[in-house]
């Protein structure tokens, strides 16, 4: 029988009983069918886009069912904690708008929401299991554990700390008291049922599942010579899900093998387990097949990739919902974001992360925004990621609005060349004198690369500059280019030029492209007439003059 006096001496004299924690964190008063979900990041690195995906699912389930969504920081692995990881987490989830009902920042009645601040709670439950004989003290050293594992391998039996291999599972109480008197460090281990066979349960995504039963006496509380004395992940999981009254645990499929142990722990604590929903990992297509999206190898695996690129968060959330349910990717954004997610509609195969699809959704989102909304969004992003663009937009707000109006306002099919805020410089930078580098002359590399007649076209450009007028009518405006080109050896049409190329400098197409390259720096751009109106006649002519 457990020695309660000895067990109690291992913990603080004023440590509350388990019943006190149950009283402080009673069952939640929520509607029938309400989900209480949690996202539990560990500050051991940057946030994976898969984390954002799971958090989105958790929040959606809770919000659409009248439940609660909480964020719990699992910071018990002090050795692997990365400085600044929690601040990065906060920034990433603030960017995505995935606010929690309960968290370290939001507070709540079922906290603390940082595991390192729940030490007393874990100690109470560990003491309870020791008193019940469902846990025991283990003084095995690292060397003894290594020797045990080597012996198991030589005998070709499963490695682990279980049954006859559990050195302290059935130790003589006198030996335990002697080890304590000697000040030997110890851990608290779970006395597993040492079950054989397989465990079956119902997964909310995958249906009926089974797995080999757990027989290991896993560690519940880490070594007694550590301070603070924190729990292992498995023990904290069982205690926290119960006291926080979590009903639905959404997590990655890599945790499937832990379910048998977790169910044993809930049974040992005499509490109901939550419903588990194990999502498939996000995948990436690679030569020869596909693999899991990896933060180590794939930049797009990190949430910061999307933040730094300047994807609108609404588009990213639309995209992630489409990964959860392909039907949502085909719905308009507002409808897709409002449609509740259903776990029974998730697939068990990992969805492929397809950035071109995200780019399309993002371009659609930007195309629906007004000019002022785009300027505000780009400015906010650029303040951190491209200060020069931020300064230009602050100095030239009206020019920015004129630029954004080109082929976007008053048209049935607006331009969709802006997909991310980082793309603003490439798509619209040429409108701004501060961001545009004029041609150096007729032999500028941009003219040469386009195969245009720079030097031989000087008389044409000089003629155009001399007689240029900023006309409102697009046809009349372009006629200026057409007439000047005809006066200086350009064919009126590509077909005419093709019939006798030696008779001409080029065709009207080359003449127009030369003007385009001078004004925009590229052979591809929106309508030249609209650009000329946006930048104004003085700037239009300033860019042409190097060719004269």
C-alpha distances in angstroms, 499 versus 485, 495, 496, 502? Answer: 18, 6, 5, 9
The number of beta carbons lying within 10 Å of the beta carbon of residue 163 is 13
Token readout for 233 is 């992940």
Cα separation of 295 and 174, whole Å? Answer: 50
Classified as helix, coil or strand, 369 is coil
Cα separation of 100 and 451, whole Å? Answer: 57
Cα separation of 273 and 110, whole Å? Answer: 17
Classified as helix, coil or strand, 340 is coil
Q: Burial of 15 by CB count in 10 Å (0-12 exposed, 13-18 middle, 19+ buried)?
A: middle
CA-based nearest residue to 21, from 134, 172, 98, 126: 126
C-alpha distances in angstroms, 188 versus 119, 137, 191, 234? Answer: 14, 5, 9, 13
Tally the residues of the chain: 548
Token readout for 509 is 């197409």
Q: Catalytic annotation on 295? A: yes
Residue 540 parent element (H or E): helix 537-544
Say which residue the tokens 């018990």 belong to: 76
Classified as helix, coil or strand, 136 is strand
Residue 497 parent element (H or E): helix 494-499
Q: With contact defined as beta carbons under 8 Å apart, do 246 and 40 qualify? A: no
Q: With contact defined as beta carbons under 8 Å apart, do 316 and 359 qualify? A: no
Residues with Cβ within 8 Å of 325's Cβ and at least 6 positions away in sequence, in order, are 341, 342, 345, 346
295, 357, 416, 495: the active-site residue: 295
3-state secondary structure 380-425: HHHHHHCHHHHHHHHHCHHHHHHHHHCCCCCCCCCCCCCCCHHHHH
> Among all residues, which ones are annotated catalytic?
295
């Amino acid at each position: 029988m457990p020695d309660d006096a000895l067990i109690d001496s291992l913990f603080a004299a004023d440590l509350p009983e388990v019943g006190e924690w149950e009283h402080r964190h009673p069952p939640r008063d929520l509607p029938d069918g309400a989900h209480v979900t949690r996202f539990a990041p560990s500050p051991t690195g940057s946030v994976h886009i898969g984390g954002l995906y799971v958090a989105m699912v958790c929040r959606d389930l809770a919000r659409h069912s009248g439940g609660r969504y909480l964020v719990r920081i699992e910071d018990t692995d002090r050795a692997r904690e990365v400085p600044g990881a929690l601040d990065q987490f906060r920034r990433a989830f603030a960017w995505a708008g995935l606010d929690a009902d309960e968290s370290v920042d939001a507070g709540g009645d079922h906290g603390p929401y940082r595991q390192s601040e729940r030490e007393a709670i874990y100690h109470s439950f560990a003491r309870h299991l020791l008193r019940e004989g469902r846990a025991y003290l283990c003084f095995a050293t690292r060397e003894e554990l290594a020797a045990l594992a080597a012996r198991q391998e030589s005998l070709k039996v499963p490695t682990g700390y279980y049954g006859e291999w559990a050195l302290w599972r059935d130790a003589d109480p006198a030996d335990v008291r002697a080890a304590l008197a000697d000040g030997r460090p110890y851990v608290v281990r779970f006395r597993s049922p040492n079950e054989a066979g397989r465990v079956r349960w119902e997964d909310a995504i995958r249906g009926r599942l089974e797995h080999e039963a757990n027989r290991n006496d896993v560690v519940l509380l880490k070594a007694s010579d550590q301070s603070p004395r924190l729990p292992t992940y498995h023990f904290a999981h069982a205690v926290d899900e119960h006291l926080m009254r979590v009903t639905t645990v959404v997590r990655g499929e890599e945790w499937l093998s832990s379910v048998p142990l977790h169910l044993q722990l809930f049974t040992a604590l005499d509490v109901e387990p939550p419903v588990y929903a194990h999502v498939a990992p996000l995948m990436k297509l690679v030569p020869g097949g596909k693999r899991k999206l990896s933060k180590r190898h794939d930049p797009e695996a990190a949430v910061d990739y999307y933040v730094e690129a300047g994807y609108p968060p609404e588009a990213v959330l639309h995209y992630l919902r489409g990964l959860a349910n392909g039907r949502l990717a085909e719905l308009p954004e507002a409808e897709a974001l409002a449609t509740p997610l259903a776990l029974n509609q998730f697939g068990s195969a990992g969805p492929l992360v397809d950035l071109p699809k995200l780019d399309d959704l993002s371009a659609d989102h930007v195309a629906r925004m007004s000019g002022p909304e785009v300027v505000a969004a780009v400015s906010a992003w650029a303040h951190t990621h491209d200060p020069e663009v931020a300064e230009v937009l602050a100095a030239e707000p009206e020019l920015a609005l004129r630029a954004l109006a080109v082929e976007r306002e008053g048209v049935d099919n607006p331009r969709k060349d802006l997909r991310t805020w980082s793309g603003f410089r490439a798509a619209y930078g040429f409108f701004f004198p501060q961001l545009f580098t004029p041609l150096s002359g007729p032999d500028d590399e941009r003219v040469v690369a386009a195969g245009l007649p720079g030097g031989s076209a000087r008389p044409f450009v000089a003629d155009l500059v001399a007689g240029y007028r900023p006309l409102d009518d697009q046809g009349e405006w372009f006629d200026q280019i057409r007439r000047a080109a005809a006066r200086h050896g350009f064919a009126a049409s590509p077909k005419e030029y093709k019939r006798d190329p030696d008779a001409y400098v080029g065709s009207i197409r080359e003449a127009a492209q030369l003007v385009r390259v001078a004004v925009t720096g590229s052979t591809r751009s929106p309508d030249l007439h609209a650009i000329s109106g946006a930048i104004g006649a003085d700037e239009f002519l300033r860019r042409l003059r190097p060719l004269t």
